[in-house]
Structure 1
Amino acid sequence: MILENHLFDELRLGQSASSTRLCTTDDLFIFAAATGNHNPLHLPGLDGDGDGQAEALVPSAFAASLVTALLGTQLPGPGIVTLAQNYRFHTRAHAGEELRTTVTVTALSPDSATLAAEVLRLPGEEPVLTGEVTVRLPLRKYRVDGSSLPGLTVRRHRHFEALLAIAAPLPPLRVAVICPETADSLGGALMAQRHTIITPILVGRNARITAAAKALGADLEGVEIIDCGSAPEAAARAVALVHEGRADAVMKGHLHTDEMLRALVDRDRGLRIGRKLTHIFVMDVPGLDHPLLVSDAAINIAPDLPTKVDIVQNAIDLAISIGIARPRVGVLSAVETVNPAIPSSLDAALLSKMAERGQITGGYVDGPLAMDNAVSLAAARTKGLTSEVAGRAEVLIVPGIDAGNMLAKQLAYLSHAESAGLVMGAKVPVILNSRSDSTMARLASCAIAAIHHARLSTTPEGDLH
């Protein structure tokens, strides 16, 4: 976008310029961060005046900044300095509404101009702002590239917030929480209970659970506690609660993952349903317009082809549960062409063909894909890749646990993503949280488990895909 200004001899009375902008919720977050104005009336999702409704009002100063932007980019354009402003604010706009800004030259002198300004809310053209502004005119001609500014990405949890909203009306999920014996592990379960996402059953050493609750200042009245003498005993008891019909899901507390997994895969008393247990990260990545699923980054170390089939199918099933109607699955390798010297490229090609032949169902599967052409349409086109998945993957299948763990942590610590975790392939969802998980990540893990359980409960097993 080329910006060009107007000098004194290029201006005339009555000359005007207009622009229209859709005000988004991201605009409000960016404006609050830039100005330090955290008035809840202007922040999406908050009730600023106590009326029970979230307002998300566009700040008056934001409307005024639209005038400043029009002056500085169009009329008179680059190089102006604002000398005076006199505005009256009439009504308030909300996030999601369009605003049209217009400035009109009303007075001129060799070094300054006065312009009438208005901001209207569309489509009804209700005035948000009217008034006038005086600017010092630029003294020399400017013609600049206005597209060189760095982009901004808002770090918020839009996808997790949407999942919490889906889970909110569902019946609370009955969850057997194994060894919630620290503040972190117990706090996450109790927090999900406060949000009515789960009804926890605390399974572990009663004295330690009670001590953790005391450290949190939490009241366990009304919460069922089943006392067990050890972590393996607690894991076995949690699995038994599922078989007894008393629990709809299992949640890992303060115990080693392998101790929990041993109970889940026990040949006689476990929860296996014929597939491998596989872990799936559901990630809310800032700037990405859909949740991103990554598998398997936590359980299967060096999966063979049959295990990868289950990894892909489990990921597809979960993606469908959270609202991705026909998931696009990119099977990752170091290259996007089949190379016999790179085993992961061979597995990726086989998985793609198996999906084509109906051995994997419910989603589009393509591979091998390198990371760039799995998630970037531009990269895919540069490499000449055209498929339903290339450049648009919603699920990423990694070659092994090293790659998966690195990818998930890179997204979390460099791209500021939040990650929820679930284990699939068992009779019920298994919620797997890390000690470093945030409040939102813990809530989202429980919400995803509740949403998936609800789909399993209402869909015949043969029709899951």
Structure 2
Amino acid sequence: MADMMENRTFDEIRVGDSATLTRTCQKDDVELFGVAVGALNPIHFSPEVAEKFSLGGKVKAHSMWGASLLSALFGNELPGPGAAYRSQDISFLTPISIGDTVTVTVTVAELVPPQDVVFDCLAVKQTGETVFTGRARVTAPTVKFVQPRIQLHEARLHRAHHVFEDIILSCAGMEPVSVAVCHPCDQVSLEGPVEAAHLGLIRPILVGPEAKIQQVAREFDIDIAGLRIVDTAHSHDSAKRAVELCRAGEAEVLMKGSLHTDELMHEVAARDTGLRTARRISHVFIMDVPTYPRTLLITDAAINIQPTLEDKADILQNAIELAHVLGIDKPKVAILSAVETVYPKIASTIDAAALCKMADRGQISGAVLDGPLAFDNAINEEAARIKKIVSPVAGKADILLVPDLEAGNMLAKQLCYLAEADAAGIVLGARLPIVLTSRADSARARLASCAVAVRVAHARRKGGKAIAAE
């Protein structure tokens, strides 16, 4: 009957009947309880705070987490399904620490017709210490009930979004940078830079048909008073003029507006009039993935369609130096493929092996590289352990280098739509950082992209590498 739930009606219960439940308190139990009821006392979450309150640095469970085990006993076992918890009088004697095993016992002390049952309650730890004692009153069911045990959905904790907020906050106190916003002729592309300006991140220069920009501002009540507008005839002219402003030093960042990415990047990549350097231009997604414990960079998923080995070396160096700007001093780079062994028929595994050797010889610097790695063992330590992969990167990657644009684009979008991730993006390797926004980007992502560009622009002022012109 272990897989069945069967209740005890009031007529079936006798004084002295008892039921027992044993549970080991885990960290997730405490955090889930805190999330469910909004109980935020830091002694339940922070060893440092617990130390200050003479608790020996041991995080304690909420007292009512222990008492909630009574509810489980009454509802599951005695009386079981159909029981209604009426009242309790509990004295808490010893706190429960994470890792403690608690055994709770309820014993029928009195039957109160027509349906109430009074229970003596006792909880003890594995040490024999009494956690709590007391009495509870429960209304027992009068109808017999038997059914298979309910299988609840598994509940998992994941961190709240914070990567983008941290990046935006890190710009506090920094001087706003000038940004050439190319063709901001719809609501999304105009609101983003204006909001960033109101937050003190940037000083936008709006490059586009002035009449159209003013019309969008009026239609959507966007305050552009005091912002510089460079009037242009059409989107191609906007791209050309925005790049010219950047070449002239009037802007430290270029931002895409409502024109197509190809149209902007054509002007950026122009050999004589664009923003090219000796470094390959590439895109990096900065991902805020709640189910992953660190900032995750994915490259390249927007510019280089089928990069060569030489291209990948530049793409990697761009991403590594962005990681440095974001405060990741020695990023761990996973070079992705479908498998984690070198296999001559899969070209990306050969590239991965070559890139790792290039890093050994100093041709790629500033990071720890490993590859080829499949996605699972790049981001999950248990998956790497099962496959017996010994690696300083496996399960802890900060940067994912994808084989080609298709793989990177699908990976980033899968994380957004299946793992509730958010993605900001930036283009590096040019004379200055380029913010590529999308109509699908959230407001947080657009602001984060601006903030990343601000960080890169300030790093350039201090003499960064890929973030500086070469």
User: What is the TM-score of this pair, normalised by structure 1?
Assistant: 0.76
The answer as to whether partners of 1:17 and 1:75 remain within 8 angstroms in 2 is no
Match of 1:284 among 288, 292, 306: 288
- Once the two structures are TM-superposed, the CA of residue 168 in structure 1 deviates from its matched residue by 2.9
Distance 1:209 1:355 in 2: 47
The answer as to whether partners of 1:377 and 1:391 remain within 8 angstroms in 2 is yes
Question: Residue type matched to 1:84 in 2?
Answer: R
Question: Residue type matched to 2:86 in 1?
Answer: A
Distance 1:197 1:72 in 2: 52
Q: Which residue number corresponds to residue 355 of structure 2? A: 351
Distance 1:26 1:265 in 2: 51
Q: Which residue number corresponds to residue 278 of structure 2? A: 274
After superposing the two structures, state which structure 1 stretch, 232-241 or 337-346, moved more. 232-241
SS at match of 1:263: helix
SS at match of 1:188: helix
Q: Which residue number corresponds to residue 84 of structure 1? A: 86
The answer as to whether partners of 1:282 and 1:420 remain within 8 angstroms in 2 is yes
- Per the alignment, do residues 109 and 356 of structure 1 end up closer, same or farther by CA in structure 2, a change over 3 Å counting? farther
- Once the two structures are TM-superposed, the CA of residue 244 in structure 1 deviates from its matched residue by 3.1
Matched, 1:316 2:320: yes
Q: Which residue number corresponds to residue 46 of structure 1? A: none
Size of the alignment, in residue pairs?
Answer: 411
Match of 2:433 among 415, 429, 448: 429
Matched, 1:385 2:389: yes
Question: Residue type matched to 1:71 in 2?
Answer: L
- Per the alignment, do residues 295 and 236 of structure 1 end up closer, same or farther by CA in structure 2, a change over 3 Å counting? same
Question: Residue type matched to 1:66 in 2?
Answer: W
Q: Which residue number corresponds to residue 156 of structure 2? A: 152
1:418-457 equivalences in 2 (<5 Å) = 418-457=422-461
Question: Residue type matched to 1:433 in 2?
Answer: T
SS at match of 1:175: strand
Q: Which residue number corresponds to residue 325 of structure 1? A: 329
Deviations 1:270-290 (A, max 9, x none): 222311110111111121111
Matched, 1:164 2:163: no
Which structure is larger by alpha-carbon Rg, 1 or 2?
A: 2
The answer as to whether partners of 1:18 and 1:70 remain within 8 angstroms in 2 is no
Question: Residue type matched to 2:344 in 1?
Answer: P
Question: Residue type matched to 1:178 in 2?
Answer: C
- Once the two structures are TM-superposed, the CA of residue 165 in structure 1 deviates from its matched residue by 1.7
Match of 1:242 among 223, 239, 246: 246
Structure 2, unmatched stretches of 5+, are 3-12, 41-60, 91-96, 124-132, 142-147
The answer as to whether partners of 1:328 and 1:395 remain within 8 angstroms in 2 is yes
Distance 1:319 1:384 in 2: 28
Q: Which residue number corresponds to residue 223 of structure 1? A: 227
Matched, 1:252 2:256: yes
Question: Residue type matched to 2:398 in 1?
Answer: E
Match of 1:369 among 368, 373, 377: 373
- Per the alignment, do residues 432 and 30 of structure 1 end up closer, same or farther by CA in structure 2, a change over 3 Å counting? farther
Distance 1:193 1:463 in 2: 22
Structure 1, unmatched stretches of 5+, are 33-40, 43-61, 89-96, 119-129, 139-143
- Once the two structures are TM-superposed, the CA of residue 241 in structure 1 deviates from its matched residue by 2.3
Question: Residue type matched to 2:286 in 1?
Answer: V
- Per the alignment, do residues 29 and 422 of structure 1 end up closer, same or farther by CA in structure 2, a change over 3 Å counting? farther
The answer as to whether partners of 1:113 and 1:137 remain within 8 angstroms in 2 is no
Matched, 1:409 2:410: no
SS at match of 1:281: strand
Distance 1:221 1:321 in 2: 33
The answer as to whether partners of 1:17 and 1:104 remain within 8 angstroms in 2 is no
- Once the two structures are TM-superposed, the CA of residue 234 in structure 1 deviates from its matched residue by 1.8
Distance 2:270 2:418 in 1: 38
The answer as to whether partners of 1:277 and 1:425 remain within 8 angstroms in 2 is yes
- Once the two structures are TM-superposed, the CA of residue 296 in structure 1 deviates from its matched residue by 0.7
Question: Residue type matched to 2:439 in 1?
Answer: R
- Once the two structures are TM-superposed, the CA of residue 454 in structure 1 deviates from its matched residue by 2.4
Deviations 1:403-427 (A, max 9, x none): 1111111111122211101001112
Question: Residue type matched to 1:282 in 2?
Answer: I
- Per the alignment, do residues 117 and 76 of structure 1 end up closer, same or farther by CA in structure 2, a change over 3 Å counting? farther
- Once the two structures are TM-superposed, the CA of residue 27 in structure 1 deviates from its matched residue by 6.2
Distance 2:331 2:247 in 1: 31
RMSD: 4.2
Deviations 1:156-183 (A, max 9, x none): 4221122222123322222110000111
1:115-264 equivalences in 2 (<5 Å) = 133-135=136-138, 150-154=154-158, 156-264=160-268
- Once the two structures are TM-superposed, the CA of residue 351 in structure 1 deviates from its matched residue by 0.7
Distance 1:30 1:76 in 2: 19
- Per the alignment, do residues 24 and 309 of structure 1 end up closer, same or farther by CA in structure 2, a change over 3 Å counting? farther
Matched, 1:265 2:278: no
Matched, 1:66 2:70: no
Question: Residue type matched to 1:83 in 2?
Answer: Y
- Once the two structures are TM-superposed, the CA of residue 263 in structure 1 deviates from its matched residue by 2.0
- Per the alignment, do residues 267 and 72 of structure 1 end up closer, same or farther by CA in structure 2, a change over 3 Å counting? same
- Once the two structures are TM-superposed, the CA of residue 17 in structure 1 deviates from its matched residue by 9.8
Distance 1:117 1:446 in 2: 58
- Per the alignment, do residues 114 and 322 of structure 1 end up closer, same or farther by CA in structure 2, a change over 3 Å counting? farther
SS at match of 1:306: helix
The answer as to whether partners of 1:17 and 1:74 remain within 8 angstroms in 2 is no
Distance 1:253 1:427 in 2: 19
Q: Which residue number corresponds to residue 339 of structure 1? A: 343
Distance 1:388 1:238 in 2: 43
- Once the two structures are TM-superposed, the CA of residue 197 in structure 1 deviates from its matched residue by 1.9
SS at match of 2:70: helix
